[in-house]
Amino acid sequence: MTSPTTGVSETPPRDVGIPRGTGSSNRLGVRGPLRDILLVLLGGMVALVGDTWRDSRQRDRRVAGALASIRAELVANAENVGSARARHLRVVDTLRYYTARHAVPDSTVYLGGVFNPGNVTSTAWQSARETGVLADMDYRVVLAVAPAYETQERYRALGEAVNQSIIIDMRREGLTTVFRDRFAQFIPLASDFANRERTLADLYRATLAHLDSLTR
């Protein structure tokens, strides 16, 4: 269309095809994937927290179970060592009685054995160490318990060595010579082990008391 005053065509500009609402649709298109990513991340974090919580509870149960087993083992070892000490003290008194009278001990003296160290075990402690539970325990608990097991292992090893020595003497010199003719040799041996057993029993009691104070 031509203007009557200017003679210039006043044809309105054509629509260049710019889509309406493009900015809004782009924002919606970005928000969708971003929302999905955030949901995935949130779900992963929730799952991770849940796994950590379950692992922590399982670890706590393992530690509690190991501590209960260790405590029960120490109590049993203390009882066995206490019984062994009482037996060794009776042997010492009995053999001293015969020595003072220059007499030969009656065969009944040997019925319970003249040298019998207490049966001590470390199964619970070794199991906790081999399965890695010790690494999850409070370090103070490990430090409190370890000396008792170290001391009892020396006691066990020494008792085993002495028993082996007695067996060798019996095979070489005969049962009569070792237990009748040389019975006095068992007095210092039984007395020494009674002292060791008193020390070990005291250590057990102190360890159990300390363990109870740390795990209340």
d(CA 216, CA 212): 6
Q: How many helices (H) and strands (E) does the chain have?
A: 6, 0
Q: What's the confidence (pLDDT) of residue 32?
A: 65
Can you give the pLDDT at residue 216? 77
pLDDT of amino acid 18: 47
9 beta partners: 2
Which of 165, 144, 3 lies closest to 74, judged by CA? 144
- pLDDT of 26: 52
Residue 176 has a pLDDT of 87
Query: What percentage of residues in the chain have a pLDDT greater than 70?
Result: 75
Handedness of CA 18, 21, 24, 28 (dihedral sign): negative
- Residues with Cβ within 8 Å of residue 63, at least 6 apart in sequence: 133, 136, 137
Alpha helices in 3-138, H assignment, sequence order:
22-100, 123-130, 133-136
pTM score of the predicted model? 0.73
Residues 6 or more apart in contact with residue 83 via CB below 8 angstroms:
118
What's the chain's Rg over C-alpha atoms? 41
Instruction: State the sign of the Cα–Cα–Cα–Cα dihedral 185, 187, 190, 194.
Output: negative
Helices assigned H by DSSP within 101-138:
123-130, 133-136
Q: Which of 5-19, 127-141, 169-183 has the lowest mean pLDDT?
A: 5-19
Q: State pLDDT tens for residues 27-74.
A: 545 566 776 666 666 666 665 555 554 566 788 889 899 999 999 999
